[in-house]
Amino acid sequence: MQTPALTPTTPLAPVTDARNPGMPLDMQWVRSVQANTSAIERRAATLPGRRSVKTDFQAAWLLKAITCIDLTTLAGDDTDDRVRRLCAKARQPVRADILDALGMGQITVGAVCVYHDMIGAAVDALEGTGIPVAAVSTGFPAGLSPFHLRVREIEESVAIGAEEIDIVISRRHVLSGNWQALYDEMSTFRAACGEAHVKAILATGELGTLRNVARASLICMMAGADFIKTSTGKESVNATLPVSVAMVRAIRDYYQRTGYRVGYKPAGGISKAKDALTYLALMKDELGRPWLQPDLFRFGASSLLGDIERQLEHHVTGRYSARYRHALG
């Protein structure tokens, strides 16, 4: 009997909807991971043009993108009032008249992402909505505070209501090839999160090569990451399509071998509706429909929502409105 051909997302292990539990560090697998940079860059270059959608289809994809946004404020001058305004936008990200014209009911964003000190205000403002609060942690954005303080920060964020924790890895472990240290660090962070889901921020712009990105992605998944994320948004280079191709293919490889689905979060520099469409097309092409849902895909963004709402108004009215009419709070 002829063996059926494997599709890009056909798993070799039993599929489960359970949370990724991680696995023992497999250095043979890690060392086998390579990245053909020129091929990855060619693949990334095809995405913006080949997967264009228009008219009602574009509006539908943009509405989907909104539900996958981690609406974020990570500024030094954040206040409780600013966070409450952001949460109000998270609860109603698109004006009611635009949704009515599109025949849509109410939608919300995927989560609200804030610093530790702002968790309380966000939790209070989102009470009863089902929108989770995500907190950046572990000495964000550099990840260079003492290790025990980074672990304690996770525990305190979870204790006061954060349901998702965005941790930053120690870049030096990747740059020096100390994969055991990276695995141990990530495993400790995962344990400290408890029931809260953990997103591992790789700070890909500081990892040097796409091979490092792919190997770090795999290590974090082996250590139990629920999501892998490109950037803090504070690096000089943040989310890019080549990096994203390398990371989602690592997710696909992990899924094929273990049967566990891990999410993906590009962050930093994604501010245009057309960029959101490109990233959604990447997820659909490389991983399939399950990765078009907020439990497996998020944008780390702030200004992206305003541009999407502006494009939706243009779809409804045929006119572009001023940006100030689509404020975040």
CB 157 within 8 A of CB 137: yes
Closest by CA position to 138, among listed 201, 83, 80, 180: 201
Given the residues 199, 226, 265, 307, the one annotated as active site: 265
Given the residues 70, 166, 226, 307, the one annotated as active site: 166
Closest by CA position to 219, among listed 13, 8, 23: 23
Based on the residue annotation, tell me whether 265 is a catalytic residue of this protein: yes
Based on the residue annotation, tell me whether 166 is a catalytic residue of this protein: yes
Amino acid (one-letter) located at 241: L
> Which phi-psi region, left, alpha or beta, contains residue 265 (left: φ > 0; alpha: ψ -120 to 50)?
beta
Burial class (CB in 10 A: 0-12, 13-18, 19+), 327: exposed
Closest by CA position to 121, among listed 173, 84, 161: 84
CA distance 251 to 184: 20
CA distance 307 to 327: 10
Given the residues 70, 226, 229, 275, the one annotated as active site: 229
Based on the residue annotation, tell me whether 285 is a catalytic residue of this protein: no
- In sequence order, the 6+-apart residues with CB closer than 8 A to the CB of 166 are 113, 134, 135, 136, 137, 140, 198, 199, 201, 229, 300
Which residues are the active-site residues?
Answer: 166, 229, 265
